[in-house]
Structure 1
Amino acid sequence: MQEENFITVNGNRFHYMWLRDNCLCPECRDPNSFQKIYDISEAQSPPKPVSVVEEDDKLTITWQEQPIHQSVFPISWLMAHVHELDTPAESSNKIILWNKADLQKEQTLRHDFHNCDSDVWVNQLFSLGFTILENIQSTKELESLVCSLGPIYETYYGRFIPVKPIKGTEAVDLAYSSVHPLLPHTDFTYLNIGRVLQFLYCVENNASGGESIVVDGYRVARDFRQNHPEYFNTLAETPIHFKQFDLHSQYYLCNINPILKLNQKGEVSEIYFSHKNCKPNLKFDKVESFYEAYKTFFNYLKSPDYQYCSRLKAGDCLVEQNFRILHGRTAYDANYGTRHLEGVFLDWDYCKGRHNFKQFQHFYLEK
C-alpha cells in the first residue's frame, strides 16, 4: 500500500526517505565495504517515487530524480530491517529468563567443546546468558577459542586472571580468599569496560566446597520490578560508586553506574552489582530509601530459588554475559584440596558481531 511518504509491505511501514538512503545498488552502496556512498543530504525531502512495484519477492522503486534512479530491495531484507533501532542479533534471538526451577527442566546446559556445534552453545549463551563448555584441554586451547571470536580484553590483571587463594597483601580481592563464600556479583564494576563476556576456566578443582553459582540478573530484575516498583526505580535512577583499592598494583579505581541500567525501551540492559565494591555516595535524605531497595534486591540474588549451582571440574569453562549473569561460589577450605580457575574476558560486541555475521551475511553477499 502506497502513501505520500511511505509504503506498507507485509504490514510494515517503510518511509521513502529511509528507503532512498538505504538503496542497495553499487552506485549508492560500495560493493566491497558495503558502506553507503549516496549522500542523503542532496535528496528531495521526501524523495518521490515514479513507480513502486512488488513482485518476485522484491520491491522495485523508480525514483523521481535526474537521471532516473532505481532501487531494488529483497522483501526478506526489508523484513529483517523492520526495527532499525534494534540490533539484528538482539531482535532475532529470544532471551529466556530463568530461575533455578526453570533450569532444572533444561535438558542440556553443558556441552562437550570438541563434539558440539558451536552454534548450539552460542545460541544458549544468547538465550540463557551463560553456558558451560567441557573438555577444554588447556588455557592455550581456551585462548584459541576466545581469539577466534575477537581480541582478548586485557585489564591491569593481565590477559588471563588467576583465581585461586592468595595469602598476604597480594590478596586484593575476596575472589582470592577461600574462607568466605563469594556472593553473586558482576565483575569489574569499578572499571568503565561496558559489556563483556567472561570465560571462567577450571584448571583444577579437588577442594571440598567451592561450587559455582550463577544467577539470571534479568529474571531477578523482572520479578523485583513487579513486586517492588518503587525499589526498582530507586536502583535504576541512583548513580552508585563502585571502588577498588589495590595495594599491590597501586591503583584506586572508581566507576559510577546505577545498579540497574535501562535501555531506551525502559528494559534492564545491564546490571552492575558487586557488594564488595559498592560504596554508595548518597545525599543524607536518600540513604534510608536506597538501602531498603538495595537490601531487598540483594536478598533476591541470594535466594536459592534464583541460584543455579554447579561444580566445575578440570577442563570445564563457565561462559557468561557479565552484564546479565551474576556469579559467585560457596566457601571452601584451601587447606584441603586445590581450586584454581583462570578468567579471561572478551568484548561482547565481538561475540555478537560474529553471530550477526553468520545470520545476516546473505543479505550482503547474495547477488
Structure 2
Amino acid sequence: MTATNVDKVAVEWDELSVVRAKTLVANLVQGAMQLEARHGAIRDEWTALRRHLVDTSHPMWKVRVRQQSREEVPPLVHPTLGRPLKPWAVRPDEEGDVDDDRDAAAALFGVAGYAGPARRRRREEGEMDEATAARTLFGGEEDEEGEASSDDGEGGKPIEKPPVVPGDWDLYIERLRRKQLTKAKRAFAASQEQQAADDEERRQWHEGHRVQQEKDAEEAVAHSQRIDAAVASWAHHKDVQAMLNSLHEIFPFKDMRQCHVTDDATVKKGYMKAVRLLHPDKLLPADFSMYERMLGQHLFSTLTSAYENTAPSLSTHVTDSMFSRRLFLRRSVGTTSLRFAHTTVSIPAAETVLQAVKPTNDDAAIHVTWKDGVSSTFHRAWLRDNCTCPSCQHPTTLQRQILTSAIPLHPTGHASLYANNSVLSIDWDDVVVCSGSDCVRSEFPATWLREHAYGIPSDGYDSRHYRQQRVDTKSLWGNDFTLPSTTYDAMMDDGSGGFKDGMAQLQKFGVLLIKHTPSSMDATEAFARRIGFVLETIYGRMWTTRPVNPENAYKDTASTNLALGPHTDCTYLYEPPGLQIFNCVLQAAAANADEGASRFVDGFHVVEWLRKYAPDAFQFFCDTALPQYCVDDDVSLHVMRPLIQRDGAGNVELVRFNDYDRAPLTHLSHDQVAAYYKHHKTLWDVINAGEVVYKMDEGDMIVVDNHRVMHGRHAFQGERALIGCYIGRSEYDSRLRTLGLL
C-alpha cells in the first residue's frame, strides 16, 4: 500500500454508540501496529495511517477506505459490529498480487483466519505475521528502543481482543499516538494485573464463603437430633413446661412461668414477650450460637402458630402494640434454611431431597431432580430474581430489595447441594448490588423449589397441578346440601382448634352456620376481627338489616320485608366484599316455616352446570361485561364486569350476580341483547333449582363467601333483624394462608 493510497482515506460520520466507536478505534490502532511490526517496508505508511485514524477519533464515526480501481474485493464482516464493511477496492501490485492489501484489511479490521497466497508466502519465508506482532505488542519482549519484538516464532494462535482496556482511555490513545508503545504496554499490563488480582480476591472470598456454609450445615445436622427431641417434647401442646425450658436455654425468662401460657388472661402477653425476642431478626449470629438460633426458630414458628389460633384480645397491652402484633401475622420461617422466609409446605419426604443438579446445555438454566424422580428446570435469571438473602429480601418486611432490571440476562454461577441435599446453593459470578450491599450467594430449599416449580418438564410432571392439589379443596353442592355448622365458642376458643376447623369448612363449602352466637354487635364484630379487618362500605362498618322507612336509609330492597331472590352483594364495586356475615338477633313470627327463611345457592355449582350443559350461556357470561350500579343522593357507583370472572389460568374466581343492581343494557349490540335474555332464563332456572332454604333463629350466625355463594330470603311479616358486616377478599385469603388452608 502506497502513500498515495493513504491520502485517499475518507472519513464519514455515522451515529454509532460511544462504546462501539471506542472498540472500532482499538481494532484500527491494533491492526495498524500489527502491520507495522510485520513488514518494515510499509511501516512508515501505516504509521501515517494510524496517526490519521487517531487524530479523527470522534466518538461518532466510522471509517471507509476507498481506492480508485475497477476491481473490488468481496466485503469483509466486522467482528464487533457484526455487519458487512464497505468494499475495500484494491489495485494489483507490480507482481499482480492483491493479497497484500487484503491481508492489510484483515489485520486492520480484526478479521482472523484469512490466508491468501502472499500471506502463505510470507509465513514460508519466516516473516512475522500480524498475530505474532499483536502478541508481541501486548505480551512479548521489548528492545532497548521500546520497539516490539517476538520470540514466539511462526504459526502462533491469533491473539484475541483484549478483554479489558486501561481505565484512562484517552491517556492510552495519546501514548499510542506519540509512539510511546512501551508506556502503552505497561498501562495495559497494569490493568490486566489488577483484573487478575480482583478475580483472585473474589475467588478466595467465594471459597471461604463456601467452606463456612459447609461448616454451618454440618453443625446444623449435629444439632438436629437434639433440637428434634426438644421440639417433640412441646409440639402440639404436649408439654408447656418443656417449651419454657427451651425458652430458658436462649433467654432467662425468670418472670415467665407455666401459668403465664395456660392462663387465658396472660397468654397473649406471654406470647408477645417471647416472640419479640425470638424473631429471627433478633437472633444474630454474632450474639447467639447455631443451636440457639435453630431452637429459637422452632419456638418462633410454634408460638406464631399458637397465636394465630387465638382470638384477638381487646386488652390495652395488645391493642397498643400493633408492631408486635405484626410479628404474629408473618408466615412461619422455613426450617431448612435459617434465613429463608417462605412458607413451609407439608409434602412427602421424597420431595424434600434433591438427587441431582446440573446445568442445561446452553448453561442458561439449572436442571434439578428430586429423590422421587421428578425433575424441573429453573432459569438462572429466575433463581437470581427470587433470592431471599438479607440483601435481596428485607429480613423484617420480607419485601424485595433487588431490582429485576439489575439482574444480568444470563447470570452465571456454580450450583451445589448441601445440608443432606435439601438445599440448592448457587455462588454467583455476577455481583448484583441490592440496598447498598452485594449479593453473591443464593440458597433454595428443595421444598420451596418443588412448590414453586414452573412449566411442564419432559417427564410429564406438572407443578401447576401439584399446587392445585394443595389449594383446590372446594366441594360443590346443590339443593340437597346441609349447611356445615359449629358454635360461637368453638370459633372463639384459643386452643381447641375449632377456629381452624370452622374456617376449613367455610373455605370448602363457601358457607358456615355458627350457632349460639350472642345477639350483639360487639360479639359479631369480635368474630369478624378473628378473620380480618371489617370492611367500610356505603352502609358503614357494622349494620343492621331490618324493615325501615326507605327515606331514612340507603334505598336498598334488603331494608324491606319483600322477598329477595338469590344474589351476591355489592356487585357495583370493582372488588365485591369477600365475606358477608349475618347474625340473626330477631326473627319474625311467621304463619309458616318459609316466611323470613334464608336462601343459599352455590354459584360455582351453577357455573359448572352451565359449562357442561349450556356452554353457549357459560361463554356468554364469561365474555360479556354487564353493567351494575348503585345510585343515591350522594352515591353513584357504576361498574361493568362479566357475570363469571376467571383468573389468568381460566379458573372461576368470582360470580357477580345481582338482578336488583343491574343497569340498562345500553352498551350491547342488538344480537347481544337477544342472547342475554336467552341465556339469563337458563341461568335463572339453574339458580332456583339449586337453592337451599334455612330459617335462622336468634343466636344463628351465617358466614357467606360473597364471591361464590348467593343468598336471598322469603318475604315475611313483622320484625326481622340481622346484624352484619363485610370482610375483604384479600384479608379472608390471607387468614386462610396463615392457617395453612390455602
TM-score (norm 1): 0.86
CA distance in 1 between partners of 2:577 and 2:376 (Å): 32
* Alpha-carbon shift at residue 19 of structure 1 (Å): 1.3
C-alpha distance in 1, partners of 2:613/2:402?
A: 51
CA distance in 2, matches of 1:357, 1:228: 38
Task: Determine if the alignment matches structure 1 residue 339 to structure 2 residue 723.
Answer: no
Matched, 1:43 2:414: no
Query: Equivalent residue of 2:508, what SS?
Result: helix
1:89–1:244: structure 2 CA closer, same or farther, 3 Å change rule?
Answer: farther
Question: For the residues of structure 2 that align with 1:307 and 1:159, how far apart are their CA atoms?
Answer: 29
Equivalence for 1:173: 556
In the TM superposition, residue 344 of structure 1 has moved relative to its aligned partner by 0.3
Q: How does 1:130-141 map to 2 (within 5 A)?
A: 130-137=511-518, 138-141=520-523
Q: Which residue of structure 2 aligns with residue 364 of structure 1?
A: none
User: What is the CA deviation profile of residues 131-182 of structure 1, one whole-angstrom value per residue up to 9, with x for unaligned ones?
Assistant: 122222122011122234332111121112221122454472222222x421
2:645 corresponds to which of 261, 279, 290: 261
1:115: Cα distance to partner? 2.3
Letter in 2 for 1:182: L
Assess if the C-alpha contact under 8 Å between 2:588 and 2:716 holds in 1. Answer: no
Partner of 1:124: 505
SS in 2 for 1:233: helix
Aligned to 1:327: 711
**What is the CA–CA distance in structure 2 between the aligned matches of 1:207 and 1:243, rounded to whole Å?**
34
Rounded Cα–Cα distance in structure 1 between residues aligned with 2:636 and 2:669: 23
**Alpha-carbon contact 2:611-2:618 (below 8 Å) kept:** yes
Structure 2: how far apart are the matches of 1:37 and 1:136? 46
1:100-137 CA-to-partner distances (Å, cap 9, x unmatched) read: 36634xxx701112124111111122121121222221
Deviations 1:249-305 (A, max 9, x none): 5534322111111211222211111111222332223211111011111111111xx
Question: Is the CA contact (8 Å cut-off) linking 1:93 and 1:127 kept in structure 2?
Answer: no
The number of residue pairs the alignment matches comes to: 348
In structure 1, what is the Cα distance between the partners aligned to 2:552 and 2:721? 16
Deviation readout 1:207-264 (Å, 9 max, x if unpaired): 3221111111111101111111111111111111112343xx5534322111111211
- Describe the SS at the equivalent of 1:253: strand
| AA at the equivalent of 2:736 | H
Q: Residue 7 of structure 1 contacts residue 16 of structure 1 at CA under 8 Å; is this kept in 2?
A: no
Q: 2:447 aligns with which of 57, 76, 86?
A: 76
Match among 455, 460, 476 for residue 98 of structure 1: 476
Whole-Å separation in 2 of the counterparts to 1:33 and 1:25: 13
Partner of 2:625: 239
Partners of 1:207 and 1:333 within 8 A in 2: yes
Rounded to whole Å, the distance in 1 between the matches of 2:610 and 2:646 is 14
2:429 to 64, 67, 82: 64
Q: Partner residue of 1:365?
A: none
Partner of 2:489: 114
Letter of the 1:260 partner, please give it: I
Please tell me whether the aligned partners of residues 97 and 128 of structure 1 are also in contact (alpha carbons under 8 angstroms).
Answer: yes
From the two aligned structures, give the one with the greater strand fraction. 1
CA contact (8 A) 2:626 2:643 kept: yes
Using the alignment, how far apart are the partners of 1:348 and 1:29 within structure 2?
26
User: Residues 29 and 102 of structure 1: is their aligned pair in 2 closer, same or farther, counting only changes over 3 Å?
Assistant: farther
- Aligned letter for 2:688? K
Distance 1:259 1:207 in 2: 36
CA distance in 1, matches of 2:479, 2:567: 21
Question: Please, which runs of 5 or more residues in structure 2 have no aligned partner?
Answer: 1-356, 432-437, 456-462, 492-497
Partners of 2:524 and 2:723 within 8 A in 1: no
Q: Is the CA contact (8 Å cut-off) linking 1:62 and 1:68 kept in structure 2?
A: no
Secondary structure of 2:442 counterpart: strand
Distance in 1 (CA, whole Å) between partners of 2:635 and 2:428 is 60
Whole-Å separation in 2 of the counterparts to 1:141 and 1:89: 37
SS in 1 for 2:409: coil
Q: Is the 8 A contact 1:162 1:342 kept in 2?
A: yes
Residues 1:8 and 2:368 aligned together: yes
- SS in structure 2 at match of 1:202: strand
Q: Quick one: which amino acid aligns to residue 189 of structure 1?
A: T
Q: How far apart are the structure 2 equivalents of 1:68 and 1:62?
A: 9
Residue among 660, 665, 671 paired with 1:285:
671
Note closer, same or farther for the CA distance 1:140–1:348 as it changes in structure 2 (3 Å cut).
same
Greater helix content:
2
Q: Which amino acid aligns with 1:111?
A: T
- Are the structure 2 counterparts of residues 285 and 355 from structure 1 closer, same or farther at C-alpha, using a change threshold of 3 Å? closer
In the alignment, is the contact (CA less than 8 A) between 2:510 and 2:709 conserved in 1? yes
Q: What letter is aligned with 2:486?
A: H
Does the C-alpha gap of structure 1 residues 140 and 68 become closer, same or farther in structure 2, counting only changes over 3 Å? closer
Distance in 1 (alpha carbons) for counterparts of 2:381 and 2:515 = 50
Which stretch of structure 1 is more off in the superposition, 7-16 or 339-348? 7-16
Distance in 1 separating the partners of 2:628 and 2:402: 45
**How far did 1:347 drift?**
0.7
For residue 354 of structure 1, report the CA deviation from its aligned partner: 2.6
Deviations 1:292-337 (A, max 9, x none): 011111111111xx22222212222211111111111122222xxx
Distance 2:467 2:530 in 1: 19
**Contact 2:478-2:602 within 8 A present in 1 as well:** no
Query: Do 1:159 and 1:344's aligned partners in 2 also have CA atoms closer than 8 Å?
Result: yes
Q: Quick check: 219-228 or 137-146, which moved more? A: 137-146
Name the larger-Rg structure.
Answer: 2
Distance 2:467 2:484 in 1: 21
Contact 1:261/1:270 (<8 A) preserved: yes
Matching of residue 207 in structure 1 with residue 578 in structure 2: no
Which whole-Å CA distance do the structure 1 matches of 2:404 and 2:676 have between them?
48
Counterpart pick for 1:20 among 363, 384, 387:
384
